[in-house]
Amino acid sequence: MKKSLAILGVILLTIPLLWLLSAVGDALEMSRNPESITKEKIIDLVYSYKGSGFMGMMAIMWLGFVVDGFGYRERWLWKTMLTFGFVWLFHIPTGTMVGLALFIYTIGNRKKFKNKSGEPGGGHNSGGSASSIVTP
């Protein structure tokens, strides 16, 4: 069940990105054909833009609930959240806030996620520092 909730969170992060891509396509189409620009289309673009940011923040809260509330801390989820944080950064400015929030949350909680060996202690490596590897 925890994995299903995590997958749902990833889907919730994906939907607004696809929504934004559709809005960008509509904006490009209107730029090629200025006669097609109407007040309704502009309002739809604004709502798409704002709505996608809201949905992205809701997805981050959902994933936070999955990670902190249910304790689902698999390595694939850490990598996915980090990747989506990076992708969201490019949807300026609303998406940048979503991406930054996701980055801060994911990197700040990296030690909660499992490492390659499946033990808690870091999402990106074994969790050891350089000083613990070198022996005196």
Q: Which residue has the tokens 């969170």?
A: 9
- Which H, E and C letters describe 30-70, residue by residue? HHHCHHHCCHHHHHHHHHHHHHHHHHHHHHHHHHHHHHHHC
User: Which residues have a Cβ under 8 Å from the Cβ of 117 and sit 6 or more positions away?
Assistant: 126
* pTM (2 d.p.): 0.72
- Cβ-based burial of 133 (10 A; exposed 0-12, middle 13-18, buried ≥19): exposed
Top-confidence residue, 48 or 134: 48
- Give the up-direction half-sphere exposure of residue 88: CA atoms within 13 A in the CB hemisphere: 32
Q: In whole numbers, what is the pLDDT of the chain averaged over residues?
A: 82
User: How far apart, in whole angstroms, are the C-alpha atoms of residue 20 and residue 51?
Assistant: 9
Top-confidence residue, 118 or 66: 66
What are 17's two structure tokens?
Answer: 């990105």
Measured at the alpha carbon of residue 55, what is the angle toward residues 17 and 79, in degrees to the nearest 5? 60
Counted residue by residue, the chain has a size of: 136
Mean pLDDT of 18-33: 83
Is the pLDDT score of 132 beyond 70? no
